[in-house]
Amino acid sequence: MNSLAVSSVSKSFGATRAVDDLSFEVRTGEIFAMLGPNGAGKTTTIRMALDILRPDSGRIEILGGPISQQIKDRIGYLPEERGLYRNITVLDCLAYLGTLKGMTSRDAKARAIELLARVGLDDAMNKKVSTLSRGMQQKAQFAATVLHNPDLVIIDEPFSGLDPVNTLLIKEMMYEIRDKGQTVIMSTHMMHQVEEMADRMLMVSEGSKVLYGRVEDVRRQYASHAVYVSGEGDWASLPGVERVEHDREKRADLVCLAEGNSTDDFLRAAAMHPDIHLSRFEVALPSLEDIFIEVAGAPQSNAGTGRKANGA
């Protein structure tokens, strides 16, 4: 079952093609990440999904159908450019946003109190929004986004401006949403968060899909022809080894293999070799950051084909 299905959607602003024939699906109950450099079309895609913008062509189904008031009530959205009303109390502000999503005033208030306590803002509940620090406002905004217990939560840059402690808190809450079977879509360019949190991902560049699928699969797809090893012995003496570098950060040696030699072959050879004692072996999967730089940095036509190991 899909929470969002985007099929062949295009959108132009004047001469600029912001989104170009984009198709992807977000499955119910997953954390889905949208990645891409600035101006890649992430925000435009989200805005089209939410009916803030209309696509020039293509079809979007959200929570099982075309968008409507009832469906909007089941979505929680935290835009990148976000704020709260400044001159009312945090509690009033959240309660108001809840009633705009169709909650009764009493339910909205009760739920706001519960959530504000959860994000550690119980003391600030009756303070005016304008007196809150930026980090506190961010947490209040997150609380507002999930106030009406939405089936689909869409967050643009969820962790920007948050300190590590609060990042952890929001992360936990996002996991909780997924564990309840609800869906989270986050748009970000913080790769390590995606690696850690997302089940599946979409990378867009200049309005087009460049990478799409399970995060694990994407990393494996870009796996270099190299392994990280620790132990005793001369790795270079093994067959098929092109060169050996030491990676200080990983506290391991990176062994790059020549074309035609698999990592399994290397492992077998190393295990059989009498003078080599292997204490650690790991296939060198590139970080998403490496892939991102490779894909986004490369010209559009080469993206996705030019893959090469990138050691350090």
Least separation in angstroms between CB 256 and other proteins = 34
Binding status of residue 85 toward other proteins by CB under 8 A:
yes
- Residue whose pair of structure tokens reads 């009406």 in the numeric block: 148
Alpha carbon dihedral 14, 293, 156, 51, in 10-degree steps, equals 30
Burial of 211-233, coded b for 16+ CB within 10 Å and e otherwise, reads bbeebeebbeebebbbbbbeeee
Contact (Cβ atoms closer than 8 angstroms) between residue 185 and residue 18? no
Binding status of residue 127 toward other proteins by CB under 8 A:
no
- The contact pattern for other proteins, residues 138-177, with x = CB under 8 A and - = no contact, is ------x------------x--x-----------------
**DSSP type of residue 117:** H
Least separation in angstroms between CB 278 and other proteins = 43
Task: Give the containing element (helix H, strand E) for 139.
Answer: helix 134-146
Number of C-beta neighbours around residue 26 at 10 A? 25
Q: What is the rounded distance in angstroms from the CA atom of residue 88 to the CA atom of residue 98?
A: 15
Least separation in angstroms between CB 287 and other proteins = 20
Stretch that binds other proteins, among 92-100, 213-221, 240-248, 277-285 (CB under 8 A): 92-100
Binding status of residue 16 toward other proteins by CB under 8 A:
yes
Q: Which one of 88, 244, 293, 309 is in contact with other proteins (CB under 8 A)?
A: 88
Q: Which one of 60, 79, 202, 238 is in contact with other proteins (CB under 8 A)?
A: 79
Least separation in angstroms between CB 17 and other proteins = 11
Pairing of β 226-232 and β 277-283 = antiparallel
Binding status of residue 82 toward other proteins by CB under 8 A:
yes
- Nearer of residues 44 and 224 to other proteins, judged by Cβ: 44
Q: Which one of 7, 57, 66, 86 is in contact with other proteins (CB under 8 A)?
A: 86
Radius of gyration of the chain measured on its C-alpha atoms: 23
- Nearer of residues 31 and 75 to other proteins, judged by Cβ: 75
Q: What is the rounded distance in angstroms from the CA atom of residue 156 to the CA atom of residue 149?
A: 18
Least separation in angstroms between CB 82 and other proteins = 6
Binding status of residue 83 toward other proteins by CB under 8 A:
yes
Q: Is 101 helix (H, G, I), strand (E, B) or coil?
A: coil
Contact (Cβ atoms closer than 8 angstroms) between residue 174 and residue 180? no
Q: How many residues touch other proteins (CB under 8 A)?
A: 38
Region 23-52 residues binding other proteins, contact defined as CB under 8 A: 38-39, 43-44, 47, 50-52
Least separation in angstroms between CB 104 and other proteins = 9
Q: Is 228 helix (H, G, I), strand (E, B) or coil?
A: strand
Q: Which one of 7, 8, 13, 258 is in contact with other proteins (CB under 8 A)?
A: 13
Contact (Cβ atoms closer than 8 angstroms) between residue 216 and residue 194? no
CA separation, residue 175 to residues 166, 179, 197 (Å): 14, 6, 8
- In DSSP terms, which residues pair with 155 in a beta bridge? 78, 186
- Nearer of residues 41 and 241 to other proteins, judged by Cβ: 41
Contact (Cβ atoms closer than 8 angstroms) between residue 39 and residue 13? no
Binding status of residue 53 toward other proteins by CB under 8 A:
yes
Q: What is the rounded distance in angstroms from the CA atom of residue 307 to the CA atom of residue 242?
A: 17
- Nearer of residues 75 and 284 to other proteins, judged by Cβ: 75
Kindly list the residues in this chain that would bind other proteins in the complex (CB under 8 A). Answer: 13-14, 16, 18, 38-39, 43-44, 47, 50-54, 72-73, 75, 77-88, 96-97, 99-101, 144, 157, 160, 189
